[in-house]
A and B are shown apart, each in its own frame.
Chain A
């Protein structure tokens, strides 16, 4: 079952922060985050495994609440290069390797 992302779209000014949420109705083994720019392929940002860990990558970080089956992506001090569509991909229990992607959140950063 497809995870639900919120919000669907965000418009920011450079330097502002944003949070993108991903929620699943099923138990999760892992959550992935990807960014896709227009006309390009999705690019892997980070993976979070069950255990409630939090990861960071430059000014982009994420958390995973296994009990709530939710993950959040945090973008701080946004840059123009952060613009794109962000997808979470969820993997159910069993470490199957199979990801189901959310519908995406479009982020636009303006100067």
Chain B
């Protein structure tokens, strides 16, 4: 299995631009999570899905952030408009059935907003 695949690996964009991050979970994994990691705030849960349905989006910072999971093999996290404070590493993770199994993280997307 190729693991959780995220793209792009690095993204540099100007403030105000739209950014779309992509994630392909491991086949058969029911849960998909989006986390953001910064030095100041650590690993923050943004949103998670179960069987493509958003379960908890209470960690999404504000309306500029949105996430979708149109099918079991693809999810996107969109930021519009982007701001410098959104600069972080964004990880996608998946797991087969709740947290009785460990998460498998993707390699992450390092986002820099200038």
Is residue A101 contacting chain B, with contact meaning CB distance below 8 A?
Answer: yes
B56 CB contact (under 8 Å) in A30, A89, A95, A98: A98
B92 to chain A minimum Cβ distance, whole angstroms, is: 9
B4 to chain A minimum Cβ distance, whole angstroms, is: 8
A29 to B45, CA, bound (A): 18
B91 CB contact (under 8 Å) in A2, A41, A97: A41
Q: What string of 1s and 0s marks CB contacts (under 8 Å) between A63-86 and chain B?
A: 000000000000000000000000
A49 to B100, CA, bound (A): 8
* Interface hits, B16-47 → A, CB 8 Å: 31, 33, 35, 42-43, 45
Is residue A109 contacting chain B, with contact meaning CB distance below 8 A?
Answer: no
**A-side interface size class:** 20 to 34
Which A residues are in CB contact (< 8 Å) with B106? 41
B84 to chain A minimum Cβ distance, whole angstroms, is: 22
A32 CB contact (under 8 Å) in B31, B55, B99: B99
Is residue B81 contacting chain A, with contact meaning CB distance below 8 A?
Answer: no
B43 CB contact (under 8 Å) in A47, A95, A101: A101
Q: A95-B98, A97-B95, A97-B98 are in contact. List 19 more A-B contacts (CB 8 A).
A: A32-B99, A34-B103, A41-B91, A41-B108, A42-B43, A44-B104, A46-B102, A47-B101, A89-B103, A91-B99, A96-B98, A97-B50, A97-B99, A98-B56, A98-B99, A99-B45, A101-B42, A101-B43, A104-B42
Can you identify 10 A-B contacts, CB atoms within 8 angstroms? A41-B108, A42-B91, A44-B104, A87-B42, A89-B103, A91-B99, A97-B97, A99-B103, A101-B35, A104-B43
